Amino acid sequence: MNIRPVGDTVSERLPELSVLRRCWPEYADVGSTHQVEVAGVRFGGPRCVVVAGPCAVESRDQALGVGRAVCAAGGQLLRGGAYKPRTNPHSFQGLGLEGLKILSEVRQLTGLGIVTEVLDPRLVEQVAGYADMLQIGSRSMQNFPLLTEVGRTSVPVLLKRGWSATLEEWLCAAEYIAKEGNRNIVLCERGLRASGHWSYARSVLDLNVLEPLRRATPLPVIVDPSHCTGRWTLVAGLSRAAVAAGVDGLLIEVVESESARSQLRSDREQGVPPQVLAEIVGATRAAEATVGRRP
């Protein structure tokens, strides 16, 4: 009896998409990954990439403080929001262009490449002028005009999965970017909404998707334990789990310090303190050394 891996059957039922292995001959081998390089850091290479930073850029001092902490902890890229998709329109919406300029300065001072979200197709060019990688958030996974616009740039894209999106919908969203000529896409799993977890976490990290995803596409996959949980105390355990499952990277929110936490204007409970980030990086490197990147 021949039980075929589910990723193969999922892939076959999908329409022709240029992000699928079966339509991308270079990556027909399921062990191969389309490496995506961002500011000298490679997703899908031998190391698990740790992207870390504040939820939102709130000031030059805060961003630089967190950036230096990320550097010191061993993070490889800096994440930080200049344009923030906030549920409530009356909440802080990010510093916008001012935030991008701050990120640019932090890049100069720390050497960390910048990953930042773009929400509006009209701002893709602006954000792409500052970012090393454009982030598409969960709420925007099926914002097709936005996907098309980032597909027209040559900047690498981080595409988060929607919180109730199927694998098929997610890959089709990636195709909106790829069909414009940009296949430098890193996929980011951030958890599904289910029914039993609301008292302790925002969603449930779907590690089951990794194997079918890898069989279907050569694009690298990372996870975001911070937004998945919404609680920093759950982030380290989930990060270790994701690394052991063989992800190509982690996206982690960091606060500068416990005292800085109370000043934050968004998602205060979510960022890990720098020492926890350092532990996560340490555990990631230890796991790579002993069991290899994709055991």
Contact positions with its own copies (CB under 8 A) in 56-115 = 85-90
CA distances from 258 to 53, 226, 274 (A): 15, 16, 9
Beta carbons of 210 and 245 less than 8 angstroms apart: yes
- Interface residue with its own copies, options 74, 211, 278, 288 (CB under 8 A): 211
Beta carbons of 10 and 216 less than 8 angstroms apart: yes
Contact positions with its own copies (CB under 8 A) in 165-184 = 165-169, 172, 175-176, 179
Smaller CB separation from its own copies, 42 or 231 = 231
Smaller CB separation from its own copies, 13 or 26 = 13
Cβ partners under 8 Å of residue 135, min gap 6: 79, 115, 116, 117, 118, 157, 158, 160
Q: How far is the CB of 149 from its own copies (least distance, A)?
A: 9
Amino acid (one-letter) located at 66: V
Q: How far is the CB of 166 from its own copies (least distance, A)?
A: 5
Enter the DSSP assignment of 164. Answer: T
Give the span between the Cα atoms of 118 and 150, in whole angstroms: 9
- Interface residue with its own copies, options 192, 219, 222, 276 (CB under 8 A): 192
Contact track, its own copies, 27-66, x by CB under 8 A = ----------------------------------------
What is the H or E stretch that residue 232 is in?
none
Rg, the chain, Cα only = 18
Q: Is 144 in the site for its own copies (CB under 8 A)?
A: yes
**Residue 88 burial by Cβ neighbours in a 10 Å radius (0-12, 13-18, 19+):** exposed
Question: Which one of 46-54, 57-65, 71-79, 162-170 is the stretch in contact with its own copies (CB under 8 A)?
Answer: 162-170
Beta carbons of 43 and 186 less than 8 angstroms apart: yes
Q: How far is the CB of 72 from its own copies (least distance, A)?
A: 21
Amino acid (one-letter) located at 148: T
Give the span between the Cα atoms of 162 and 184, in whole angstroms: 19
Contact positions with its own copies (CB under 8 A) in 11-30 = 13, 15-17
Contact positions with its own copies (CB under 8 A) in 213-272 = 228-229, 231-234, 237-238, 240-246, 258-259, 261-262, 268-269
C-alpha angle 93-124-70 in degrees, rounded to nearest 5: 60
Q: Is 201 in the site for its own copies (CB under 8 A)?
A: yes
How many residues sit close enough to its own copies to count as binding (CB under 8 A)?
86
Smaller CB separation from its own copies, 8 or 105 = 8
Q: How far is the CB of 126 from its own copies (least distance, A)?
A: 13
Contact track, its own copies, 270-289, x by CB under 8 A = -------------x--xx--
- Interface residue with its own copies, options 23, 42, 104, 120 (CB under 8 A): 120
